[in-house]
Amino acid sequence: MDFYDKDLVSIRDLDREKIEYILDLSKKMVPYARGEKVKRALDGKILGNLFFEPSTRTKLSFESAAHRLGCDVIDVSEMSMTSISKGENLADTIRMVDAYCDAIVLRHPYEGAARLAADVSENPVINAGDGAGSHPTQTLLDLFTMREAKGSLDGLNVVLVGDLKYGRTVHSLAEALTMFGVRLTLVAPESLQMPQDIVDRLRNKGCNPKKTTVLEDAIPQADVLYVTRIQKERFPDPAEYQKIAGTYRIDNSILRSAKSDMIVMHPLPRVNEIATEVDSTPHARYFQQAFNGVPVRMAILCSIMGGKIDD
Amino acid sequence: MTDPTQIADIKIPPIRNGTVIDHIANGQALNVLKILGVNESNIDSTISIGMHVPTHKGTAKWKDVVKLEDRELDPDSVDKIALIAPDATIAIIRDFYVAEKYQVQLGDRVVGLVRCSNPNCITNKGEPVTPEFYVEGRNPPRLRCVYCDRMLSKISDNLL
Ligand SMILES: Nc1ncnc2c1ncn2[C@@H]1O[C@H](COP(=O)(O)OP(=O)(O)OP(=O)(O)O)[C@@H](O)[C@H]1O
Ligand SMILES: [Mg+2]
Ligand SMILES: [Zn+2]
């Protein structure tokens, strides 16, 4: 498969076949991600972890993924913070880091930063989130989590709930899901519904999402309930925020109408979108989802940096 | 073909040689000149501008028209007009008659003509990068930023 030396900037760089390749390889990576098997497939390689924005989870899982494959990591987060404050532009920072490693993982506050980095870097760039922009490795690990739980993505009933307007993660996820003939339901307050241009794009890909403001209505048919955080900052009026946040909170009572094998996902960290009582139900899949960041990122690093895993 | 003595819709005298840009969306004549990079310091012939001219073509009631004397615009350089005036036609006038005429048409990409309307886009952050857009629709023009992936909200407000 054609990943070697290629950038991964947006999920849209991948078609269904490529996504499935990564998901299959991720599956093979699971025992290695757990440390049950060891293979230094990227021995002697160096990954540059360039985080201009704090993101503990993503950064740690990339580090863990690299180490599990025997790949060294240079962590340039602090240096990059200083270069941003010294006013060095991103293009120059990338050229410099590019010279010190074999692939770059970039997290940056500005949208489109990863595309720019990919333009200037000789080595492949993996987008680990650019502002409200795309975050393709998150999308891949979400898809992997669904597929592992359900056996297949085809024809699933997926309900996305929360902030569907600003949360770019759900935009890429929704778009990727259209490749698998998924039925989508979008649950959000009117003011946080998915933007029309994204919905149009889903339609163009043959998916006609249902929109609703009522979470209860969407639960019974759901195979997957994907919850995202509604941020306080989005609401000028704190009382309005409290009301909305309360309406879209997942707890055991709302899950009573759910199918027994329905799974609840969340990109984490959660604040109080999901009550902790849900954690011990068979529905909860968000911690598994967080773990899946490691095998999926191992599969991505391995494919892009030219490692081989034979099971 | 218009008889130059019968140009009724326009209160601009006929030109012998030059270019007529007709059917410009109402109010966009000055932006058309801006896009073409034509201004008083780099042209040494007359530019006539008709703004808010009545029209009967399509659904529009009003249009703008620009006439450049002694200057023939080539198709490549005028296609970018389609960004703000997708219905515009270009007529090359030679010896008072329309010698060539074509419709403006955007290519697949727009490079460097407009800035991204997303303030958080990396192209608006002082990086050495030229803004670039995919053309997703032609009439009305719809541009998507190659970098931040957002649709450009108002093209005429973001001309460079
Ligand atoms: N000698 C000229 N001087 C100035 N303007 C001219 C001259 N000849 C034609 N034009 C203008 O150039 C444009 C194109 O001319 P054309 O004869 O194709 O017009 P038309 O038949 O009205 O076509 P359309 O349907 O595009 O309006 C018109 O706006 C016309 O008024
Ligand atoms: Mg006419
Ligand atoms: Zn942009």
Mean pLDDT of A223-246: 86
pLDDT digits (tens, 9 = 90+) for A255-287: 999 999 999 999 988 888 999 999 999 999 999
B122–A115 C-beta distance less than 8 A? yes
Q: Say which ligand is closest to the CA of B144.
A: 3
- pLDDT at position A133 is 74
Closest CA to A26 of A65, A59, A60, A58: A65
A119–B128 C-beta distance less than 8 A? no
Torsional class of A127: left (φ above 0), alpha (ψ -120 to 50), beta (otherwise): beta
Q: Closest chain A residue to B123 measured between Cα atoms? A: A112
Q: How far out from the chain centre does Cα B19 lie?
A: 12
- pLDDT at position A244 is 83
Closest CA to A272 of A162, A167, A194: A162
Give the CA angle between residues A32, A37, A38 to the nearest 5°: 85
> Poorest-confidence range of A67-71, B9-13, B26-30, B80-84?
B9-13
B-chain residues near A204 (CB < 8 A): none
CA distance A89 to B124: 12
- Residues above pLDDT 70, as percent of chain B: 91
CA distance A140 to B147: 21
Domains along chain B? Answer: 14-103 (3.30.70.140), 109-158 (2.30.30.20)
Q: Closest chain B residue to A88 measured between Cα atoms? A: B127
pLDDT digits (tens, 9 = 90+) for B61-78: 999 999 999 988 876 678
Asked whether the beta carbons of A65 and A92 are under 8 A apart, the reply is no
Amino acid residing at A271 = V
Q: Closest chain B residue to A114 measured between Cα atoms? A: B147
How is residue B99 written in tokens?
């010698």
C-alpha gyration radius of chain B: 17
Residues 6+ apart with CB under 8 A from A262: A219, A222, A223, A224, A225, A255, A283
> Poorest-confidence range of A60-64, A94-98, B54-58?
B54-58
Q: What is the pTM for the complete model shown?
A: 0.86
CA distance B154 to A47: 40
B148–A111 C-beta distance less than 8 A? yes
Task: Judge whether residue B104 has pLDDT over 70.
Answer: yes
Domains along chain A? Answer: 11-133+291-305 (3.40.50.1370), 136-289 (3.40.50.1370)
3-state secondary structure (DSSP) of residue A28: helix
3-state secondary structure (DSSP) of residue A129: strand
A134–B149 C-beta distance less than 8 A? yes
CA distance B140 to A148: 44
Q: Say which ligand is closest to the CA of B123.
A: 3
Q: Which residues line ligand 1 (CB under 6 A)?
A: B 1-2, 4, 7, 10, 14-15, 20, 22, 57, 65, 67, 89, 91, 93, 96, 98, 101
Q: Which pLDDT band, with edges at 50, 70 and 90, does B12 fall under?
A: confident
Q: Which of A10, A113, A134 sits opposite B122 (nearest CB)?
A: A113
Q: Where are the strands (E) in chain A, listed by range?
A: 46-51, 72-75, 103-108, 125-130, 157-161, 183-187, 210-212, 224-227, 263-265
Residues of A170-201 as b/e, b for ≥16 C-beta within 10 angstroms?
Answer: bbbbbbbbbbbebbbbbbbbeebbbeeebbeb
The residue among A86, A92, A93, A116 with the most chain B CBs within 10 A of its CB, best to mutate, is: A116
pLDDT digits (tens, 9 = 90+) for B135-152: 999 888 999 999 998 899
Q: Which of B122, B145, B151 sits opposite A90 (nearest CB)?
A: B122
pLDDT digits (tens, 9 = 90+) for A101-155: 999 999 998 999 999 999 999 999 999 998 777 899 999 999 999 999 999 999 9
Asked whether the beta carbons of A120 and A89 are under 8 A apart, the reply is no
Asked whether the beta carbons of A252 and A274 are under 8 A apart, the reply is no
Mean pLDDT of A18-26: 97
Q: Which pLDDT band, with edges at 50, 70 and 90, does B42 fall under?
A: confident
DSSP A120: H
- pLDDT at position B7 is 54
Q: What CA–CA distances, in Å, run from B101 to A42, B54, B60, B90, B92? A: 61, 21, 21, 5, 6
**Which of ligand 1's atoms lies nearest the C-alpha of B12?**
4
- pLDDT at position A54 is 80
Residues around ligand 3, an ion, CB closer than 5 A: B 116, 118, 121, 145, 147-148
A152 to chain B, closest Cα gap in Å? 29
Q: Say which ligand is closest to the CA of B124.
A: 3
CA distance A40 to A307: 9
**Could you tell me the distance, in angstroms and rounded to a whole number, from the CA of residue A274 to the centre of ligand 2?**
64
Q: Which of B126, B147, B151 sits opposite A115 (nearest CB)?
A: B147
Q: Which pLDDT band, with edges at 50, 70 and 90, does B1 fall under?
A: low
- Alpha carbon nearest to ligand 1 atom 25, residue: B57
Residues of B with CB under 8 A from a CB of A: 116, 118, 120-123, 125-129, 145-151
Ligand 1 pocket test, pick from B20, B63, B72 with the greatest ligand atom count within 8 Å of Cβ, gives B20
- pLDDT at position A82 is 60
Mean pLDDT of A165-182: 91
A267 φ, ψ to 5°? -70, -10
Residue appearing with tokens 């490692």: A307
Q: Closest chain B residue to A115 measured between Cα atoms? A: B147
A116–B129 C-beta distance less than 8 A? yes
- Alpha carbon nearest to ligand 1 atom 12, residue: B20
Q: What CA–CA distances, in Å, run from A294 to A137, A140, B26? A: 10, 11, 56
C-alpha gyration radius of chain A: 19
The residue among A89, A110, A197, A205 with the most chain B CBs within 10 A of its CB, best to mutate, is: A110
3-state secondary structure (DSSP) of residue B90: strand
How is residue A75 written in tokens?
């962590």
3-state secondary structure (DSSP) of residue A133: coil
